[in-house]
Structure 1
Amino acid sequence: MQRAGVHGIRSSQLYDRTSYQCDRRAGNAVTLTGTRHYVGFGFGAIQAGLFLYEAYQSDNFQRLTVAEVVPQVVDSIRRADGMFALNIAQADRIERVQVGPIHIENPAVEANRQRLIKAIAEAGEIGTAVPSVNYYVADGDSSLHRILAEGLRLKAATGKPRAVIYTAENNNQAAEILEAQVMEAIPEAEQAAVRAKVRFVNTVIGKMSGVVTDAEEIRGQQLPQVTSDNSRAYLVEAFNRIQISQIDFQGEPFARGISVFEEKADLLPFEEAKLYGHNAVHALAAYVGAMLKLRWIADLTTVPGAMAFIEGALLEESGAALIHKYDGLDVSFTPSEYQADAYTLLDRMMNPFLRDTVERVGRDPKRKLGWDDRLIGAMRLSLSQNIQPYRYAFGTAAALAALEPSILHNKTKAEHILLPLWDGTNMVETEQRQVLELVERGLQALRQWVAEGYPNLDAFYSRML
């Protein structure tokens, strides 16, 4: 199939918005014009580049508040009058925008904590974007779950607006976990009134983002730092097609201010598509890149056969499995729509303006080789639909080489590394054996590819089948 652009999708097809225009540049953004209130927890790249940015762009919000526990970050935003800089990787450039003003509060400071509680009571939308669900609960009154509990109690007691809480942490039960922890901190007599006022929703966030800390790269790419006295820069892709679980206030309508998010009655298929499609092929790309000692993910576009190989994994292995498993559920799982989305995803991954590194994407191979994680999970999904995931087996072998480089030059079997990683996992023996045999085959192919001097990967793969 002939395709235009980096991977065949016209640039006008790449994103929901073909261009992010921002009229409120530095020096002009002093007020917000909407009527709604938003509160976020954690001021990282996803909070800044997704939730706060989309709320700001919507023109629906009057006040944007964020909780951040690092005092220096809080101070720097306040010195900048609540404004922060964001770098957005478009298909053909980096767009530099100013966002704000935002109100930033440190929950460890009592006066700030009280303001957060009041802001939650007023807010119609709340977003958590902390490192993991393990950060929901901490000792003391400054814990995220306790602040939410106090704010929601005040909301219910004073008749303030209903709210949804978006949970952006990488856990498909994040909303349920947070809801249970928040409700435990609310007196039983008040829980029914609070439940009537709030819905906790899961999210599937495929937006690629990062924090650039290297001063030389920041200068070289002319990336505005978060603030003038903050050494970091946020760099995010323009993509904003985010799925969330359906919001149901017992049949009563609820209009979101951040309207770009897509509600889905069943979020699990999209969670699997993210983990076993997006995340799996991203990891595959990173570990192939690591074998070739590449720095940037985008450099794979210059490697003969690499993109055809990666595309094959996404479309013919995990993609074909997802389409077969979820046939008829949603238009996203029709062959034509999935193929279009896959091509778009590959274009996004290979966007040179995103500056995504092989090291970052391939970080923590032990976790990514988990039985239920992206690589082995994509293999298991494919096998469950009678598809042989040879490319993912090769990528898994490359991940093993990233973890234990000596495996390329000795006779160590893949299972000697994988089985300890899977210890304690409930596995069906026949499925485990099938996966291990495929990975062992992938490891033999990887050793042969290295021995032959890294020939055209797609042609090599076709020859080895």
Structure 2
Amino acid sequence: MKKAIHFGAGNIGRGFIGELLVRSGYEVTFVDVNAELVDLINERRAYDIKIVGDKPEIIHVEHVRAINSAAHPEELTKAICEADIITTAIGPNILKFIAPNLAAGLAERVKVNQQPLNVIACENMVGGSTVLKGFVEENLPEEAKEAVAHYIGFPDAAVDRIVPLQKNDDPLLVQVEPYAEWDANVTQAKGEPPQIEGLTWVENLEAYIERKLFTVNTGHASIAYLAYRKGIKDIYSAMQDKNIVDMARKVWQETGDLLVRKFGFDPKKHEEYVKTTENRFRNPHLSDEVTRVARGPKRKLGAKDRLVSPATQLLAQGQKPSALATVIGAAFHFDYDGDKEAQEVQGAIQEKGLHKAILNYTQIPEESELFRMVENKTAGF
């Protein structure tokens, strides 16, 4: 049986990437520092996934084990030497913390195993594998760098599956939605790219990253910020509000026009992708708190993120992104006291004024028509 290592034994690791790897004929070794979780996986060597939606289903996943990387780094090194693929789902901020152990394992591997190996960071970020590669290189001994660069690939990936907040009686049970998408950059792979059910190797990953970012993430954030202004608590309830849904559809029309023009997506297929996304948000089993989806407005209002980036690109194409300007305006009113970024943005508005806050957080040039649109929409809420 082929061998896979997956960093992160949490819900996304077990409920998404780990399950696809097992389904594709791999024995999966989860790597985590949660001793109780590691021990339970090793005790059972299996767990269940519950698909929630119109057609609920239980999937039983076997051929799994786990390593506590904090307690047994030498066991992890041995596993890396024997692995056929390595993946992660730990969160962007944690990548730097796994790099020392990963680097140590790869340095040993290239001495004893010259088979190509691909390391794929399956994180909700752009260029996750490239970021991880940088952290690994910082931790590699000088004598191993050339061999690691030759044999080890770090293909960037785009991933998409909703794994809702949950508390189950069985600590290994994971509830997930039916939909799942995993794309990876074939041009960054070493050797023959591993064929994994549910993983699509693509040459232009940017297109799929932006399709997901400007459809799923943009739509989710738009609904959340509009719902917060109305005092609606969860996404499912927001999707019952006609005005919010109508505005979300206008946002999707704008981002869809951009994506079709920029990357040549088939308009009908993209329309189906948007409808699928809307239906995902209507799944009552996946409903998330509005304040959790809207959290981090400082990041979400960034020039390269889900709201400002498509609006800026549309303006450059000669289009007027009115719906996007509306939700950007709503984001500047997100004042949830449980979110540090929200409080920072609100403090900046109070201290320096709305004009300077928009300029600071969005980096939209103040002479731009988009800047005037956003300022008018924000003031109008």
TM-score bucket (shorter structure)? 0.7 to 0.9
For the residues of structure 2 that align with 1:357 and 1:164, how far apart are their CA atoms? 36
Q: CA deviation at 1:323?
A: 1.3
Letter of the 1:275 partner, please give it.
L
Q: CA deviation at 1:166?
A: 0.9
Q: Alpha carbons of 1:115 and 1:65: their partners in 2 closer, same or farther (altered >3 Å)?
A: same
For the residues of structure 1 that align with 2:372 and 2:353, how far apart are their CA atoms? 10
For the residues of structure 2 that align with 1:444 and 1:429, how far apart are their CA atoms? 15
Q: CA deviation at 1:292?
A: 2.4
Q: Alpha carbons of 1:394 and 1:248: their partners in 2 closer, same or farther (altered >3 Å)?
A: closer
Q: CA deviation at 1:192?
A: 3.0
Unaligned runs of 5+ in 1: 1-34, 139-143, 219-223, 228-232, 328-332, 448-465
For the residues of structure 1 that align with 2:300 and 2:355, how far apart are their CA atoms? 15
Q: What is residue 364 of structure 1 aligned with on the other side?
A: 296
For 1:18-417, list aligned pairs within 5 A.
35-58=1-24, 60-61=25-26, 63-79=27-43, 81-90=44-53, 92-109=54-71, 112-132=72-92, 134-138=93-97, 144-159=98-113, 161-213=115-167, 225-227=170-172, 234-247=174-187, 252=191, 254-315=192-253, 317-327=254-264, 333-403=265-335, 414-417=354-357
Q: What is residue 361 of structure 2 aligned with on the other side?
A: 421
For the residues of structure 2 that align with 1:444 and 1:421, how far apart are their CA atoms? 16
Q: Is the 8 A contact 1:74 1:104 kept in 2?
A: yes
For the residues of structure 2 that align with 1:146 and 1:40, how far apart are their CA atoms? 16
Q: Normalized per residue, which structure has more helix?
A: 2
Q: Alpha carbons of 1:145 and 1:210: their partners in 2 closer, same or farther (altered >3 Å)?
A: same
For the residues of structure 2 that align with 1:389 and 1:269, how far apart are their CA atoms? 20
Q: CA deviation at 1:39?
A: 0.3
1:38 is paired with a residue whose SS is strand
For the residues of structure 2 that align with 1:243 and 1:255, how far apart are their CA atoms? 12
Q: CA deviation at 1:404?
A: 7.5
Letter of the 1:167 partner, please give it.
A
For the residues of structure 2 that align with 1:255 and 1:373, how far apart are their CA atoms? 30
2:157 is paired with a residue whose SS is strand
2:156 is paired with a residue whose SS is strand
CA RMSD of aligned residues (A): 2.7
Q: Is the 8 A contact 1:203 1:243 kept in 2?
A: yes
Q: Is the 8 A contact 2:291 2:336 kept in 1?
A: no
1:97 is paired with a residue whose SS is strand
Q: CA deviation at 1:54?
A: 0.6
Q: CA deviation at 1:284?
A: 0.3
1:402 is paired with a residue whose SS is coil
2:50 is paired with a residue whose SS is strand
Unaligned runs of 5+ in 2: 338-342
TM-score normalised to structure 2 length: 0.87
Aligned residue pairs total 370
Q: Alpha carbons of 1:36 and 1:376: their partners in 2 closer, same or farther (altered >3 Å)?
A: same
Q: CA deviation at 1:365?
A: 2.0
1:117 is paired with a residue whose SS is helix
TM-score normalised to structure 1 length: 0.73
For the residues of structure 2 that align with 1:320 and 1:310, how far apart are their CA atoms? 14
For the residues of structure 1 that align with 2:365 and 2:244, how far apart are their CA atoms? 33
Q: CA deviation at 1:50?
A: 1.3
For the residues of structure 2 that align with 1:402 and 1:356, how far apart are their CA atoms? 17
Question: Could you tell me the percent identity over the aligned residues?
Answer: 24
1:165 is paired with a residue whose SS is strand
Q: Alpha carbons of 1:127 and 1:84: their partners in 2 closer, same or farther (altered >3 Å)?
A: same
Q: CA deviation at 1:72?
A: 2.8
The one-character-per-residue Cα deviations of 1:147-177 (angstroms, maximum 9, x if unpaired) are 2223223332223642211112333232222
